[in-house]
Amino acid sequence: MATPTVVSWEQVSVPTASGPLPARAYRPGTGPPQGWLVWAHGGSWRAGSAQDWHGATAELAQHSGFGVLSVDYRLAPDVRHPAMVEDVLSALAWAGEQDHDRAAPARPVLAVGGDSAGGTLAACAALACRDRGVPLAAQVLAYPPLDPECAAASYHRFPDLFPTAPYLTAAWQDYRLPGRPAAADGTRLHSTPFEAADLSGLAPAVLATGDLDPVSDDVHHYGRLLRAAGVEVTLREFRQTGHGAFLQPGRGGPGGQPTVSMRDWLGRSLHPFLPRSPFKELT
């Protein structure tokens, strides 16, 4: 069956301990979704919005079949970690309470994802969900920076490509606070999954990066760590692709045929996690 072509959306308000959190909810097709994907936008933890990511997240809902909740999490320097991770966790709690396809399980399938800095937040939220016993179908991460020291070789292979190591180092400093922050229930809230001593039991990971992205080695390293911990990993490196590819549509390929965009691939990678996928298998 073809991908649904109709995606509706509405502005919603997610309740949190710090007050209402704005978000955009995208629903593919004409009925309630079988599952929800909470998405955290990029922007180096300091910029970006659900409005700025509107086209990309609407298309992600179209390609995935999931409802997508695009979150306007709080930004640095007005707040610092763990505020952003707490916002993503509140959004997951909201999504878990929404109406969904009644032919699906009693609770909607939940996944978390994000691109760039939002991918870092999503990975940290997945850790908190594991520690709280909250089931997630998947963590969907597009080129997340994961090392605050920006020490991997890819940062030096591409020293002039965005994001540069000095730029990201400064962003990490704006985002993080020293110490080991925890939620009110005692759950450790990591600022990067590289802080976690144990990655076992995490939701399956769908990882995407580009071969020209300075953070690509972080992504590959995380994939290896997850596999070593027994976590299912699907990883694709896009050729001739730099940072920010989630925001770009597919490009022309040989013979004028469009290539698969990163957000198209990420969306279709989620099909196996739907209880009753209306899509053909990803090829």
Catalytic, out of 213, 217, 218, 264: 213
Catalytic, out of 116, 191, 261, 269: 116
Cβ atoms of residues 192 and 124 within 8 Å: yes
Place of tokens 């939002």: 118
Place of tokens 């590289």: 194
Measuring CA to CA, how many Å separate 198 from each of 30, 126, 131, 132, 193?
A: 41, 13, 11, 14, 9
Active site includes 116? yes
Active site includes 213? yes
Q: Is the peptide bond before 163 cis (omega within 30 degrees of 0)?
A: yes
Cβ atoms of residues 91 and 71 within 8 Å: yes
Q: Is 60 left (phi over 0), alpha (psi -120 to 50) or beta?
A: alpha
- Give me the sheet containing 233-238, strands edge to edge: 7-14, 21-28, 67-71, 35-40, 109-115, 138-142, 205-210, 233-238
Catalytic, out of 190, 243, 269, 271: 243
Active site includes 64? no
**In the beta sheet, which residues pair with residue 100?**
none
Q: Could you list the active site residues?
A: 116, 213, 243
